[in-house]
Amino acid sequence: MQTELIFSPLAEIETELLAVLAADSQTAKAADAKPAPILLTADDAVKTAAAAILASGEYKAGANETVLLHAPAGLKAKRLLIVGLGKLAKVKPQGVRNAAGTAVRFTKPRGIKELALALPESELLPPGPCVKAIVEGAIVGDFDADTYKSDRKDVSVERFRLIAHATADKPALEAAFSEGVIVGESQNLTRSLVNEPGNKLTPTILGQRAADMAQAVGLRWDVYSTDKLHELKMGAFWAVSQGSAEPPALIVLRYEPEGAPEGPVLGLVGKGITFDTGGISIKSSDSMEKMKYDMAGGATMIGAMRAIALLKPKVRVIAIVCAAENMPDGKAYKPGDVETAMSGKTIEIINTDAEGRLVLADGLTYARSLGATHLIDAATLTGAIGVALGLVNAGAFSNDDGTFARFEEALKLSGEKFWRMPLGDEYADLIKSDIGDIKNTGGRHGGACTAAEFLHVFAEDTPWIHLDIAGLAWIDDSRPHIAKGPSGVAVRSIVEWVRSYQG
């Protein structure tokens, strides 16, 4: 998608489709209060063209609600699309982001190759954050997961223009637009990786894809395999790997900007299980094909590192992705085995399908050994997090309130939904082992919390955040603003968390 920010009166824009945003300005709470849709633009020509449909009562400006007008009078655009944001008093940049995605997804199946969208004008919507959110939403909205269809038709929007008022602060909006392009494309990189089938994206190929990205954007990188795991005594990571004919990949990406002050080194650690059968504790066959997405945490870190390299914050960052297949070969690790992690901790294996925490255990230890002073990991770690939070929020855990406060501020910018979950000695007691130091599951109850406590053992006292994205990393049904398939959740939030440390 070609993207462009221009400054022009809307009536003068020649385009196949011009999209404007609307909101319901009704503030009355009475049950019989009718919606009062208004356009979020001061352009008189657009208001005149849309006046009849807004007055009809047919269109209510609900969130992502659309209405299309052909040959709008007084405009050079061939079509006028109105996209709703919901209640005006509640609008936020996240709603604008979704509306931009909705406009793109409305356009795609109609074979319309170009789209112009008007930057909303409202005191409730600051221009800079809205510009960034809109271009992110448009780029994310253009992604579809039908990569391998032999008769695939390219219905991508080839050209997207964001139209701002001619009197706007051009340098500030241009900077925000550039940032939005970087973040949107990086989120789509993550989604493209998660979308790949297990036979097309082995651990080795994931390492190659990460290296290609790193070389393209100027990151330092290394990709190691079996010998390095043995050299580092990564017994937990190797245990998961040993049942597969595909060798593991230990992916290391480094961002070391010139002029970065002495201070924090941020460690990003991602679970990269490119296919998860469950191992000897094999999963049900129902929906096992979706287990290609079990490397979404690792893909998140690869996408985030691309954005970080291009945004150039003044802070050092190291990313570790632990990639492997979890297979039930005759060499596979077994329930009852005891494995020794890189840290020296011994782990009793209760369930081989609790493998993600094993690879992350060694990843967290390795990140600390490379100098990381603050840690964040992401993983499709537990089904329990979806039971606890539904498919609305992802789970977040932390051992440090100050570090987590930065993440909460990042969420205000990213628009993503995470809910902080508890840690504590009561959960830690549930993973104590009789034969070793800890066991890799704590039973049925509080599964997301005991998994987080397992990782806490390896983060130790280093300020750390754990993101359990299992419930949100894959979208089962298309939404108005985003296609079904991989979501790329957490990329935006991690990038904003990293940027909070710059300087």
Q: Is 357 a catalytic residue?
A: yes
The residue-averaged pLDDT of 195-215 equals 98
* Domain edge (last residue) among 168, 189, 221: 168
Interatomic CA distance for residues 74 and 48, integer angstroms: 8
Query: Which parts of 196-295 fold into alpha helices (H)?
Result: 203-217, 226-231, 235-241
The residue-averaged pLDDT of 363-369 equals 98
DSSP 210: H
Q: Is the pLDDT assigned to residue 31 strictly greater than 80?
A: no
Band (168; pLDDT cuts 50, 70, 90): confident
325 with 444, same domain?
yes
146 with 223, same domain?
no
Report if pTM > 0.95: yes
Q: Is the pLDDT assigned to residue 29 strictly greater than 90?
A: no
Interatomic CA distance for residues 243 and 123, integer angstroms: 58
The residue-averaged pLDDT of 373-394 equals 98
Band (398; pLDDT cuts 50, 70, 90): very high
**The domain spanning residue 149 has which CATH number?**
3.40.220.10
Count of domains for the chain? 2
| 193, part of any domain | no
164 with 209, same domain?
no
475: tokens are: 């979208």
* Domain edge (last residue) among 110, 143, 168: 168
Helix H or strand E encompassing 82: strand 79-87
12 with 151, same domain?
yes
| 434, part of any domain | yes
Structural domain for 92, as ranges: 2-168
DSSP string, 458-492: HHTTS-EEEEE-TTTSEESS-BTTB-SEE--TTHH
| 328, part of any domain | yes
Residue at token pair 């919507």:
125
315 with 419, same domain?
yes
Please write the tens of the pLDDT for every residue from 301-318.
999 999 999 999 999 999
Residue at token pair 């793109």:
104
Band (259; pLDDT cuts 50, 70, 90): confident
Annotated catalytic residue within 47, 159, 283, 314 = 283
Q: Is the pLDDT assigned to residue 503 strictly greater than 80?
A: no
214 with 261, same domain?
yes
| 184, part of any domain | no
The residue-averaged pLDDT of 442-466 equals 97
Query: What was the pLDDT predicted at 461?
Result: 97
Annotated catalytic residue within 306, 357, 368, 439 = 357
Please write the tens of the pLDDT for every residue from 117-137.
999 999 999 999 999 999 999
Contact 143, 156 (CB under 8 A): no
Please write the tens of the pLDDT for every residue from 86-96.
999 999 999 99
Interatomic CA distance for residues 124 and 56, integer angstroms: 26
162 with 233, same domain?
no
230 with 151, same domain?
no
Interatomic CA distance for residues 455 and 461, integer angstroms: 12
Q: Beta partners for 159?
A: 2, 114
The residue-averaged pLDDT of 260-270 equals 94
133 with 253, same domain?
no
363 with 475, same domain?
yes
Q: Is the pLDDT assigned to residue 106 strictly greater than 80?
A: yes
Interatomic CA distance for residues 143 and 166, integer angstroms: 31
DSSP string, 371-390: T-SEEEEEE---THHHHHHT
Alpha-carbon torsion angle 111, 108, 299, 213, nearest 10:
40
Interatomic CA distance for residues 181 and 310, integer angstroms: 10
Separation of CA 461 from chain center: 27
Q: Is the pLDDT assigned to residue 154 strictly greater than 90?
A: no
Q: Is the pLDDT assigned to residue 384 strictly greater than 80?
A: yes
Query: What was the pLDDT predicted at 136?
Result: 98
Average pLDDT across the chain, whole number: 97
| 200, part of any domain | no
Percent of the chain having pLDDT more than 90? 95
| 111, part of any domain | yes
Q: For residue 86, give the 3-state DSSP assignment.
A: strand
Query: What was the pLDDT predicted at 305?
Result: 99
| 37, part of any domain | yes
| 173, part of any domain | no
**The domain spanning residue 361 has which CATH number?**
3.40.630.10
Q: Is 306 a catalytic residue?
A: no
For β-strands 18-24 and 159-164, DSSP reports them as unpaired
The residue-averaged pLDDT of 181-204 equals 98
377 with 250, same domain?
yes
313 with 415, same domain?
yes
Please write the tens of the pLDDT for every residue from 335-358.
999 999 999 999 999 999 999 999
Query: What was the pLDDT predicted at 167?
Result: 81
